[in-house]
Structure 1
């Protein structure tokens, strides 16, 4: 088995578990805070929002720092640091005796993250051009599926085993990821730039500055769209089912539908990106995803929402990989980790902004408006991507073809 493929398998598992670890707290957090002695419902809501959001905000700050460290010291050391650190910190959350310890540990979790940045950088730099799209697309399914399935896993364990066991289970999985990384990941790392570069010098090495910024902004918008409905999905399903039972189970299946579709479609769309160009797959995926959000506002039964969420998962599978493929294509290898670090920061901020946006729109205007607004946001982004990314890369591709013919 090629080294890049073996590393891809280990990194996929690690990112999947990390995605679960970052999101599994959502359904049990308010209950756990109440269990820790907070009884006032308004205060519970405030602390839940703080505890959930602080990890993503701090991760956005530290992701470029760990990306820089990956470029200096190698990607495998960063994988080991992040997986072991998160295993210990998340495991310790199960022993938290008050809410302030829990929030402090969530903050520390955000500081030590960086597994996804190191994985993406390693796969991007180790994989040959012929298989890069497939590899990055496959890798992207891990974090997305983990994030989407995490609330379901957390809710199931919390309900059947106990809330503290959610943290112990996730910590154990992350420790398995640490052991697998230590034993099976292979990296032949040689630092290309011996100097410590300041940000201005790093930015000077980026050849396609405007295109890079557009890709960062696009990734931010895409993440907002994917997570905007997460805070209100369970409530929406309860509304659609008319108060019938098994709301938590139906919500879990609906969450899982997008994740499973994403796992199925992403490698195939990655191969398609290798063949026809990532910019074409990205534009089509954004446009179709935007269109699929709109009818979700008009469904009348949970099964209709499940079908649309599954179709959305098939489409969204082409979004994150396309961004990563294009970033790899236009970024010099010696600063790949730092560029992917900034990209991950945009994603973390998008998760936080999407969750806040969805909750606020639902509170002010109604649940159905969240889907309409998200669809409109994606369609506007599709127009922007067409103007700033698609046309530019399509022209470059055509010029390259003409040059090759001559």
Structure 2
């Protein structure tokens, strides 16, 4: 029994550190991506927002299509193999983004990145299938702590590096960090995995038949979609919004990095604690509380006139974030048999990527037509719709 404990806990901490590295890599370029695009051609603000939305979204469009395949392969070959594929492929592709000479090359590489995506989500799958049932919430919360801690440090480092040495160097740093995550997993993560024979892989209908509460699982897929749409809707405009608040002067890249990173502070501190709290009082209660807070905190972000006001509100967003996706993943882990968990997390990853895609496109479209403030108001509306959806889904399960 002690050996089993050591096995899943060791993987949890190693993958949490790997998620920390991946979080740095993924978030480092986000604050200045619109500014980087501006250096690749002469674009208006509306065109910059459009290309930012496309560049951010194309990765997730392709990932959404291919993720179920990776989930199916993970059930056959093991989750560690998928993690290694993701970190190696993305390390090379993101590093190559430092060499682009026009926005079309950047969009192409962002699309290629989508083929290799999945490090963090497959880390969650590996831990969800190996941790004891009563500790799943805490384990997934610990992985989330690693991810958001990296996401916190990434924009700060990326903004500072971009401010001093230009926009290309952070892409090289990101590629190197992902290669480091590859070797970390290769040498230190162990997976006790029994492959599923190819002929015995269940169909989608058979997967759903194995679920004790299929309506809850499907409900969590939709919840993931809405959460990610809301969270990513402001990505294309955050640096432009900061630039507007600063009246086009000052260290915009650095301040944008700080604003982007701010939600990571409370999320890093609270994700594991909220996961443990959900294990004790009910994961769904924590999720509903997070959605209520998210709905309320996005509204005043549309009316700020100083950067420090935006920073404070983004900090509160991080508190809500700690109670959202980790709780959804915990519900999926607890309601899914291990033999189909790779497929379930693969489907959920597709919905997550669709949300990652829809969010930037939504933000770009709304900001181009109605201004930056309207993006925050539409995000608050999405969170409210999600709150109603989750309440109805969990109420059905309780009944």
TM norm structure 2: 0.89
Q: Distance in 2 between matches of 1:346 and 1:261?
A: 25
Deviations 1:144-178 (A, max 9, x none): 45456544443332332343322221111111111
Would you say 1:232 and 2:237 are equivalent positions?
A: yes
Residues 84 and 93 of structure 1, relative CA distance in 2, 3 Å threshold: same
Find the aligned partners of 1:368 and 1:281 in 2 and give their Cα distance.
Answer: 28
Unaligned runs of 5+ in 2: none
User: 1:242, CA displacement in angstroms?
Assistant: 4.3
Once the 2 structures are TM-superposed, how far is the Cα of residue 193 of structure 1 from its aligned partner? Answer: 5.8
The alpha-carbon distance between structure 1 residues 363 and 145, as it changes in their structure 2 partners (threshold 3 A), is farther
- Conserved 8 A contact 1:299-1:305: yes
Residue pairs, 1:187-336, within 5 angstroms: 187-192=191-196, 195-243=200-248, 245-336=250-341
Q: 1:27-50 CA distances to partner (integer Å, 9 max, x unpaired)?
A: 4545655666x4565877665543
1:128 equivalent among 132, 135, 151: 132
1:342 aligned partner: 347
> Which of these residues, 15, 20, 25, is aligned with residue 21 of structure 1?
25
User: What is the correspondence of 1:110-121 to structure 2 with a 5 Å cutoff?
Assistant: 110-121=114-125
CA distance in 1, matches of 2:53, 2:244: 23
Q: Are the structure 2 counterparts of residues 32 and 346 from structure 1 closer, same or farther at C-alpha, using a change threshold of 3 Å?
A: same
Contact 1:294 1:375 in 2 (8 A): yes
Q: Which residue of 53, 57, 68 maps to 1:53?
A: 57
Matching residue of 2:376: 371
**Superimposed CA distance per residue, residues 161-217 of structure 1 (whole angstroms, 9 cap, x where no aligned partner):** 343322221111111111111111111111356513333333333332222111111
Q: CA 1:267 to 1:90, structure 2 compared with 1: closer, same or farther past 3 Å?
A: same
1:98–1:27: structure 2 CA closer, same or farther, 3 Å change rule?
A: same
* Distance in structure 1 (CA, Å) of the matches to 2:106 and 2:299: 38
- Does 2:181 correspond to 1:185? no
How much has 1:25 moved relative to structure 2? Answer: 3.6
**Which has the larger displacement, 371-380 or 219-228?**
371-380
Point out where structure 1 has 5 or more consecutive residues left out of the alignment: 396-406
Residues 152 and 59 of structure 1: is their aligned pair in 2 closer, same or farther, counting only changes over 3 Å?
farther
Relative distance call for 1:142 and 1:56 in structure 2 (3 A) is farther
Distance across 1 between alignment mates of 2:204 and 2:161: 44
Aligned residue-pair number: 393
Question: How big is each residue's C-alpha offset from its partner over 1:267-299, in whole Å with a ceiling of 9 and x where there is no partner?
Answer: 110110010110111011101111111122233
For residues 285 and 198 of structure 1, what CA distance do their matches in structure 2 show? 34
Indicate conservation of the 8 Å contact 2:49/2:368, yes or no.
no
Among candidates 157, 167, 170, match of residue 166 of structure 1: 170
Give per-residue Cα distances to partners, 1:119-168, cap 9 Å, x unaligned.
Answer: 11111011112221111112123444545654444333233234332222
If asked which structure has higher relative contact order (CA below 8 Å, sep 6+), I would say: 2
Deviation at 1:319, TM superposition (A): 0.4
Q: Which residue of 151, 161, 168 corresponds with 1:157?
A: 161
Matches within 5 A, 1:362-401: 362-389=367-394, 391-395=395-399
Cα–Cα, structure 1 residues 277 and 44, in superposed 2: closer, same or farther, change >3 Å?
Answer: closer
Aligned position for 1:404? none
Q: 1:110 to 1:117 in 2, by over 3 A?
A: same
In the superposition, relative to structure 1, how do residues 143 and 341 fare at CA in structure 2: closer, same or farther (>3 Å)?
Answer: farther
Q: Please provide the CA RMSD for this pair.
A: 2.5
Shift of 1:257: 1.3
After superposition, what is the alpha-carbon deviation per residue over 1:235-275, rounded to whole angstroms, capped at 9, x for unaligned?
33333344552333332222211011110111110110010
Distance 2:393 2:70 in 1: 29
Structure 1 match to 2:74: 70
SS at match of 2:236: coil
**TM-score between both structures, scaled by the size of structure 1:** 0.88
- Mapped pair 1:140 → 2:149: no
